Chain A
Amino acid sequence: MSWQRARWVVLGAVIVALIWTVRGSVARLQQARVSGAVCGALERQDPAAAVEGSAHLAGLDVGVKDRGLLEAIECRCLALVASGDGGSCVREIADWTNRESLSTWVPQPVLAAAAIDELEQVGRFQRAVELAQLAASAYPSSTLFHSREFRVRSNRNLANPGEARSDPMAELLVEFEARAQRLGDQSADLPLLLADRYAERSQWSDALRVLGDQPPGDAAVQKEWFTLLTRAIAGLGDPGALRRAFDRWESALGGSAELTAHRALQFSRSNLLPTLEIGIAQLSAALRVESAVPDQMLRVAVRSRLIRSLVIAERFEEALALFDDTQAQYGLELTISRSEIERAALGEFSDEGPSASGLASAPRVAIEFTGLEVGDRLVLPPSDWTDPSAPFVELSRAQALGLRRPGSGPPQWWAVLDQQGLVVAEGSLPLARAPVRVDVNRREPESKAAWRMPAAGPADGRGRVLQLILDSADWRILQFMVASGRMPALEGLMATGASGSLLSEPAYTAAALQSLIQPGEASFGVLQLVYELGGEIEALNFVGRNPVSGLEMVIPQRPGLFETVGAGSLSAVNLLRSTGSLRAGRNATISGPRGGVSRLSSNVGSRELSLAEVASLPQLGRELGNFRVHFEEAAGDFDTVQSVLAANQIDFISARVAALDLITHSAFGELTEMGQFDATPLLLVYYQYLDFRIAQLGDELDEDDTLIVMSDHGARSSLEHDPVAVLVMTGPRVRSGLLEGRPALAGVSRLVAEVLSVETEWPDTDLLRLLEPN
C-alpha cells in the first residue's frame, strides 16, 4: 500500500472512531438528560413530574450498560412510591428485573427486595431466587436477601437446579444454616426463619440449635425469637424448661399482657399443664388483660382456646357467654360453632347423653326431602345408629318418603347422589322436635374419585408392616364418605380385609400412643403416682424441677415397640411426630437391626400440594385458607412413608398423620352446622386426600405386606374425642370380615409383633383372632 492510501485508511478509521465515540457520548448524554430530568424532579420533590417524565421508559430497550436509564427507572419507582402508587413501582421494577436484557442488573437494595417479593407473589419463583442471589452478592452487607432467598426456596421446595433429592427441604435447611453461621449478624433474621421451618417439621432440637442462646436484634426481633423458642421447647414437652423460657422472656422484654397471652396459649396448646382447670385459670387471666394486647389475632386465639377449655370442663354457660361476646366484639368465625357448644350442653356427646345409647332411644321426627329427582339416591346414617362404625344406608327416592329419624344426638349427615353416583348435595339434619323439611338445592356434581386401591404387587419375601395412624379419624365420617363414593381406597380395603372398632380409653392421643409404643409397660403403683405428681409440681414452678425425678431409677423400664422390633434382625421407623406432651419417641428414628439406632434422612416434613394432586382431586384447588398447612403436612407425611416403602429397607413403619387431629378440631364445627352445605366441607376434602394418598401407598405394597389403617381415637365434635377408634387391616394372614366387639387399642402392638414374628409378652386384647395361624 502506498503512503497516500494508508493515510486515507487511517483517516477513515479515525473518523469512524470519532463518530462512534460521539454517538456513544450522545447516547450517554441523552440518558443523562433523562436521568437528570427524572431524578432531578424527584430531588425537587416533584414526584408527579418525575413520573410523567419517565412514562416513556417502558417502551425502551434497556441493557445493563445503560446506567443512566437504569437510574431513571429507579427514580421513577421511587417517585411512584412518593405519589402513593407503590404498587405500580413494585410491579414495574419486578418487570424490569425479569427482562432478559437485565438479567444481571440489581437495583438498589430496597427496590431489589421489593422486586423479589413481587416476583414470588406472581409466581416467578426461579427468577426471584436468582435476583436474591445476585443482590446478596452485590450488597454483601445487606440483611435483606439471604432470608428472602430461603423463604422463596423453602416455600417452593426449590432445590439447586438440576439436582434431584429425596428431601429438598432438609438440604435447604443445612445449606442455609451454614450460610447463617458464616454471615452472623449480617443476616440476623435468617436463624428465625430456619427455626420456624424446623418447628414445622417437628424438629424441635434443631430449631433450638439454630436459635442459639441469645436473642438477637431489637425488641421486635427478640419477641419473635422468644416466640419460636417457647414453641420449640413446648414441642420437646418439657414444662419446667418452658416455664423458665417464659420467665426469661419476661426478664428480657418486661412483663406484658401480650406475654401473659402467649404463655397461657402455649401451655394450653401443648398440654403441659397438669390439669384443665389450671389452663382455664391462665387463659382467664390473659383474657382479663386482653385490652392491652395489640395483636387482635392473639386475643381471638386466647378466647377460642378458653371457650374450648370451658366446654371440655362442662362449664357450658360460661362458654356460650364468651362465644357470644367474642362474636359481638370481633365478628370472626371461630373454629368452634355455637351449635357444638349447645349440643355439648345438652349432653349429646357425654356418656350420659343420647349418644351413649346411640340415637335409638332419642325421639324421632319426620324428615321430608324435597327436590330429589328420578334416579337420585339419598345417603343417611342407619336408623338405629348405635355403632359409629355402622355403614350409612342408601335410600331410593321412594324409600326416602315417610322418613323418620332422631331429632337430636350427634350430627346426622346426608348426601344426595345422582344417577352417576356423584354427590350433588349434602348437609346435616337439624336438631328438631317437629317435622323437618329439607329442600335440596342441587350443585354441580363433584367429579368421581379417580383412584382405587391397587392390587398388591408380587410377594418379595420381606413381609413388612405399615401402621398408618390417622389421628382423630372417626368411623362416622369415614362411613359417610365411603357411602357417598368418595373414599374408594378405604372402601376397597374394607371389602378385602378386616375392619372394626377399637376401644381407646382414655380417648387421648398421648394415652393411645403410649399404649402402642410401650405395650409391655402396663404397671402402676404408688411410686409411679408420686413420680407423676412430681412432674406436675415442676410444671407449677414451685420447686423448679421434678423433686422426685430420681424415682426413675426404681420405676420399671421395659423396651418399647420400636426397640423390641429392632432388637433382632428387623428394623423399625418411628414417624409418629412426637411433640409436646406426647412422648412418643423421637420422630424419624430408625431402630434396628440388632439394636442399632439411626436417623431417617428422607423425612419430608411438609410440602405444597402438587398440580397432579389437584388434577386428581379438584377440591384441593379451592381456597384452603388456614387449613392449607394441614394438607401440606399430610402431603409430607405420606411422601416420607412412600419413600421409606420404596427403599424397602425397613420392616415396620409406624406413621401418624397428626394434622388430621388439628384440622378436625378446627373444621369439625362446619360439619355440625345444620342445613345444607354450600360446598363440601374442608374436613371431608381432607379425608378424601388421605384416601387418595393411601391408594398411592398401595403401589408400594406387595402381597406379603400388612397394612394397618387406624386411628388413635374418634371425634364426636371439634371439642371432644370419641373412644371408638378405627381399624382397617389387610395382609396375607388377615382374616377378612368385620371385627366383633371393641378390643382395646393397646393390643395392636401385639398384633404387629405377631405379624413380624417377634416374640413378646405384650397384652393381646383379643386382636390376634384377626390373624390366620402362621
Chain B
Amino acid sequence: MSSISVRRRRVYVTSSLLLLALLLSCRSRPDAVPPTRLVGAAQPLIEFLEDCQSISASRLASWCGELAQSMRACTAVVAVCSPTENLAEGGTPCRLAESVECVDRKDLTELGLGDEDWLFQGPLPGILSAGTSSAGTVELRGRSSSDGAIRVSARLNGSQELPLGRWLPSAESPGQFQLSDTGAFAHARWRPDGGLVPQRTGKRSLADRLYGLRSELFSATVLTGSVEVVAFVPNPGDRFPGSAAALDFHLRRPAIAAMESYIADLQKEWPLVRNDYSFNGFEGACLNNLRVMPGLAPCYLATDSALVVGWNRTAIEGALTPASRSQVEVAGGEGAGSRATVDFAALALADRRLAATRSRDVAFNYPFRSLDVVGRRDGSGFFFDLTLHPLVAP
C-alpha cells in the first residue's frame, strides 16, 4: 500500500473517530431514536458475542452471531448506525452488523478505551423497553480481565417510562442480606426507586381488588422499602420454583398487624384457610386452599426486622435456615448499593427440572458460572456494575 493511500486511510479513520467522538458527546433529540454505536477491541467483543449466541436459539442470539461474524477480520472495530426513521413512527431499526468497520487498535486510545475494552451505546434494548416509545439510552463499557471474568459497567438514562423502571434500584442502600440462598439460583436485595407499590389515585386495578394491594401493609409507615428475594431450584416434580421475599419493616408489631389485616382482606375474595405457623422461633401464618398456582400455599413469618413471605413452607424455611449468605463483593462495603447474584449452574438445574415437569427440553445454555450485579440510581439515570464469572478459571 502506498504512503499516500496509508495517509488517506489514516485521515479517513481519524475523521471517523473524531466524528464518532463528536456523536458520542451529542445528546439525541428527545423524540428521535438515538443511533447505535459499538467500538472496541474485536477479540474480546467476538468472544462475548459468541457467548451470547450460545445461550439460546433466539433473536438476540442471531443478532450476536451476525455481529460477531462481521468483525472476525478486524483487530478493532467501529460501528455506527441509525434507524431510518423514528421507531415509534414505524421506522426500521438499524443493522449494526452491516455497519462494522475495521480500525487500528491504537485508534481506540483516542476514545479512552484500553486494548481489551469495548463500548456500546444505543437506545434501550427491547428487553427493557418493549412496548414503549422511550427515548432512553443505555451505555455499556465492557472489559475482559485476566481471571477470565467479563466486567460490564452499564448506565441507563431516561428509563422512567419503562414497565420495570420503578423497580430499578434507588440511591439508598437496602441494608444487609437477611435470607439464606443455599440451593438458590437467584438472590437479590434492593430498594426499588419507585417504592414497593405505586402511589396511584383513582380506581383500583383488578390486582388491587383481588390481592388487596392497596391495604395499609404496603404503606410507607409499615415497610422501609427494602426488599430481598431468593428463588430456589425446584425439587424434582415441582412445576414452580420455590421463592421467598423479605420485606423490611420499621416496627414489628404494626407490621404483623398490617399483615393480618391484609390476610383478612384477601379472605373476602378467596376461599382461604388461615393456619398459625412458626419456625425457628418466628411466628406467622400459612394460607391454604388458595389453588391459584401449583404448589402455592404461601406462608409468612415475622423476623426481628422483616416480614418474610414464602411460596410455601419449604421455601420459607429454606430462606430462613441459617447458612450461607451471598458473598457478593461490593465496592465500598455492603452499604454501597443494591445487589443481586445469579448462579448459572443452579439455574440450569432449575431449567432441567421445570422442563421435565412439562415433558420438554431445556432451551438455555449458560456459558458463565455466575453473575453478580451491583446497582443504584445515579442522578437522572441508573448505574450497574456487572461481573460475569467464567465457567473455568484460566
Cα separation A547 to B358 with both chains bound (whole Å): 24
> A557 near B58 (CB under 8 angstroms)?
yes
Q: How far is the CB of B81 from chain A (nearest CB, A)?
A: 18
A542 within 8 A of B: yes
> B207 near A525 (CB under 8 angstroms)?
no
Residue ID in chain A nearest B352 by CB atoms = A525
Q: What sequence of 0s and 1s flags, for each residue 541-558 of chain A, a beta carbon within 8 Å of any chain B beta carbon?
A: 111111111111111111
> B58 near A554 (CB under 8 angstroms)?
yes
A431 within 8 A of B: no
Q: How far is the CB of B266 from chain A (nearest CB, A)?
A: 11
Q: What sequence of 0s and 1s flags, for each residue 224-243 of chain B, a beta carbon within 8 Å of any chain A beta carbon?
A: 00000001000000001100
Residue ID in chain B nearest A544 by CB atoms = B163
Q: Which residues A282-312 have CB closer than 8 A to chain B?
A: none
> B292 near A275 (CB under 8 angstroms)?
yes
> B241 near A556 (CB under 8 angstroms)?
no
Q: Which residues A503-562 have CB closer than 8 A to chain B?
A: 522-529, 537, 540-558
A253 within 8 A of B: no
Contacts of B362 in A (CB 8 A): 523-525
Please judge, given known A-B contacts A526-B350, A553-B58, A556-B58, whether A542 and B207 are in contact too, CB under 8 Å: yes
Q: What sequence of 0s and 1s flags, for each residue 106-133 of chain B, a beta carbon within 8 Å of any chain A beta carbon?
A: 0000000000000000000111111100
Q: How far is the CB of A563 from chain B (nearest CB, A)?
A: 15
Residue ID in chain A nearest B291 by CB atoms = A277
Cα separation A277 to B211 with both chains bound (whole Å): 12
> A555 near B205 (CB under 8 angstroms)?
no
Please judge, given known A-B contacts A525-B363, A529-B240, A557-B57, whether A551 and B127 are in contact too, CB under 8 Å: yes
Cα separation A540 to B208 with both chains bound (whole Å): 9
B329 within 8 A of A: no
Q: How far is the CB of B154 from chain A (nearest CB, A)?
A: 15
Cα separation A522 to B358 with both chains bound (whole Å): 9
Please judge, given known A-B contacts A243-B206, A277-B291, A542-B205, whether A526 and B126 are in contact too, CB under 8 Å: no
Cα separation A712 to B211 with both chains bound (whole Å): 35
Interface centre among A526, A540, A554 (most CB of B within 10 A): A526
A278 within 8 A of B: yes
B347 within 8 A of A: yes
> A540 near B240 (CB under 8 angstroms)?
no
> A549 near B361 (CB under 8 angstroms)?
no
> A525 near B292 (CB under 8 angstroms)?
no
Q: How far is the CB of B181 from chain A (nearest CB, A)?
A: 15
A611 within 8 A of B: no
A contacts with B, residue count (CB < 8 A)? 34
> B363 near A541 (CB under 8 angstroms)?
no
> A553 near B125 (CB under 8 angstroms)?
yes
B364 within 8 A of A: yes
Please judge, given known A-B contacts A545-B131, A550-B128, whether A526 and B241 are in contact too, CB under 8 Å: yes
> B358 near A524 (CB under 8 angstroms)?
yes
Please judge, given known A-B contacts A524-B358, A525-B355, A525-B364, whether A553 and B210 are in contact too, CB under 8 Å: no
Q: How far is the CB of B239 from chain A (nearest CB, A)?
A: 9
Contacts of A64 in B (CB 8 A): none
A58 within 8 A of B: no
Cα separation A749 to B57 with both chains bound (whole Å): 21
A281 within 8 A of B: yes
A395 within 8 A of B: no
A313 within 8 A of B: yes
> A557 near B164 (CB under 8 angstroms)?
no
Contacts of B351 in A (CB 8 A): 524-526
Contacts of B55 in A (CB 8 A): 554
Please judge, given known A-B contacts A275-B292, A525-B364, A540-B207, whether A553 and B163 are in contact too, CB under 8 Å: no
> A554 near B56 (CB under 8 angstroms)?
yes
Please judge, given known A-B contacts A527-B364, A541-B205, whether A555 and B163 are in contact too, CB under 8 Å: no
> A545 near B163 (CB under 8 angstroms)?
yes
**In the complex, which of the residues B131, B210, B240 contacts A549, with contact meaning CB atoms closer than 8 Å?**
B131
Cα separation A552 to B56 with both chains bound (whole Å): 12
Q: How far is the CB of B115 from chain A (nearest CB, A)?
A: 30
Q: What sequence of 0s and 1s flags, for each residue 130-174 of chain B, a beta carbon within 8 Å of any chain A beta carbon?
A: 110000000000000000000000000000000110000000000
Cα separation A546 to B185 with both chains bound (whole Å): 23
B360 within 8 A of A: yes
Q: How far is the CB of B208 from chain A (nearest CB, A)?
A: 8
B269 within 8 A of A: yes
Contacts of A524 in B (CB 8 A): 351, 354-355, 358, 360-363
> A525 near B354 (CB under 8 angstroms)?
yes
Interface centre among B128, B185, B291 (most CB of A within 10 A): B291
> A554 near B360 (CB under 8 angstroms)?
no
Q: How far is the CB of A379 from chain B (nearest CB, A)?
A: 38
> A523 near B59 (CB under 8 angstroms)?
no
Q: Which residues B36-94 have CB closer than 8 A to chain A?
A: 55-61
B26 within 8 A of A: no
Q: How far is the CB of A761 from chain B (nearest CB, A)?
A: 11
Q: How far is the CB of A99 from chain B (nearest CB, A)?
A: 58
> A543 near B360 (CB under 8 angstroms)?
no
Contacts of A526 in B (CB 8 A): 185, 231, 241, 347, 350-351, 354
Q: Which residues B332-347 have CB closer than 8 A to chain A?
A: 347
Cα separation A524 to B56 with both chains bound (whole Å): 11
B293 within 8 A of A: yes
Please judge, given known A-B contacts A277-B291, A525-B362, A552-B130, whether A557 and B59 are in contact too, CB under 8 Å: yes
B282 within 8 A of A: no
**In the complex, which of the residues B56, B210, B231 contacts A556, with contact meaning CB atoms closer than 8 Å?**
B56
Contacts of A243 in B (CB 8 A): 206
B12 within 8 A of A: no
Residue ID in chain B nearest A547 by CB atoms = B163
Q: How far is the CB of A763 from chain B (nearest CB, A)?
A: 9
Q: How far is the CB of A560 from chain B (nearest CB, A)?
A: 14
B270 within 8 A of A: yes
Q: How far is the CB of A504 from chain B (nearest CB, A)?
A: 12
Q: Which residues B225-276 have CB closer than 8 A to chain A?
A: 231, 240-241, 269-270
Cα separation A278 to B211 with both chains bound (whole Å): 11
Contacts of A542 in B (CB 8 A): 205-208, 213
Q: How far is the CB of A552 from chain B (nearest CB, A)?
A: 7
> A313 near B364 (CB under 8 angstroms)?
no
Cα separation A354 to B364 with both chains bound (whole Å): 42
Contacts of B364 in A (CB 8 A): 523, 525, 527
> B131 near A277 (CB under 8 angstroms)?
no
Q: How far is the CB of A634 from chain B (nearest CB, A)?
A: 32
Please judge, given known A-B contacts A522-B361, A523-B363, A549-B130, whether A554 and B205 are in contact too, CB under 8 Å: no
> B361 near A553 (CB under 8 angstroms)?
no
> A550 near B125 (CB under 8 angstroms)?
yes
Contacts of B291 in A (CB 8 A): 277, 313
Q: How far is the CB of A389 from chain B (nearest CB, A)?
A: 23
> A550 near B127 (CB under 8 angstroms)?
yes
> B164 near A555 (CB under 8 angstroms)?
no
Contacts of A275 in B (CB 8 A): 292-293
Cα separation A550 to B205 with both chains bound (whole Å): 23
Contacts of B350 in A (CB 8 A): 525-526
**In the complex, which of the residues A528, A544, A553 contacts B59, with contact meaning CB atoms closer than 8 Å?**
A553
Task: Given contacts A523-B364, A526-B185, list 13 more A-B pairs with CB under 8 A.
Answer: A243-B206, A277-B291, A278-B292, A523-B363, A524-B361, A527-B364, A540-B205, A546-B163, A550-B130, A552-B126, A553-B58, A553-B125, A554-B127
Jot down 30 A-B pairs with beta carbons below 8 A, ordered by A. Answer: A275-B292, A275-B293, A277-B292, A278-B292, A281-B270, A522-B361, A524-B351, A524-B354, A524-B358, A525-B354, A526-B185, A526-B347, A528-B363, A540-B206, A541-B205, A541-B207, A542-B207, A542-B208, A545-B131, A547-B164, A549-B131, A550-B126, A552-B59, A552-B126, A553-B58, A554-B58, A555-B56, A555-B363, A556-B363, A557-B59
Give residues in A with beta carbon < 8 Å to B.
Answer: 243, 275, 277-278, 281, 313, 522-529, 537, 540-558
Give residues in B with beta carbon < 8 Å to A.
Answer: 55-61, 125-131, 163-164, 185, 205-208, 210-211, 213, 231, 240-241, 269-270, 290-293, 347, 350-351, 354-355, 358-364
Top 7 closest pairs, chain A to chain B, by CB: A523-B363, A550-B127, A525-B351, A542-B207, A540-B207, A547-B163, A550-B130
